[in-house]
């Protein structure tokens, strides 16, 4: 683990996004606007799972510092093509950043969508998990390219 005792406590945030490509069978099941499977409400369950994962990132990724997140928000939406965009935004005042927490939250939310929809089709693809922005600490970051759906929730 990196020693962060000499670093200043600053406000830090990160935003990550996962894209879940849904095959026609899954899109058809959601055509009436009700995004629910026999396991329950898909997006609501994914939001809970992603938030829980972000809070436990240090238990999943070796050498991550345990961080008490000040905020973790997960937004899930269908894009114009019918694919799912999962956005996780994390915030903290700490000596270390929250990029891994945002990436973990988005990833686990996407995995939860897969798990809840796999009975409809195994052709679901988690296509992309990436950091969109990070602020605070030594330097800020913004992704060089806007993703495939620039209108996604940010």
Just list the catalytic residues: 115
* Residue closest to 65 by CA, chosen among 7, 1, 135, 11: 1
Number of H helices, E strands in the chain: 4, 7
Task: Determine the Cα–Cα distance for residues 49 and 68; give it in Å rounded to an integer.
Answer: 17
Task: Determine the Cα–Cα distance for residues 91 and 99; give it in Å rounded to an integer.
Answer: 10
């Amino acid at each position: 683990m990196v020693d962060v005792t000499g670093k200043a406590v600053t406000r830090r945030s990160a935003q990550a996004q996962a894209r879940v490509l849904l095959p026609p069978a899954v899109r058809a099941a959601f055509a009436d606007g009700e995004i629910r499977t026999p396991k329950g409400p898909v997006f609501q369950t994914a939001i809970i799972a992603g938030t829980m994962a972000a809070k436990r990132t240090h238990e999943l990724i070796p050498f991550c510092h345990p961080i008490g997140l000040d905020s973790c928000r997960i937004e899930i939406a269908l894009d114009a093509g019918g694919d799912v965009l999962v956005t996780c935004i994390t915030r903290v005042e700490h000596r270390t950043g929250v990029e891994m927490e945002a990436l973990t939250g988005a990833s686990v939310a996407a995995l939860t969508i897969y798990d809840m929809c796999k009975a409809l089709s195994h052709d679901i693809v988690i296509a992309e998990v990436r950091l969109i922005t990070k602020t605070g600490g030594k330097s800020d970051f913004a992704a060089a390219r806007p993703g495939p759906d620039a209108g996604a929730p940010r």
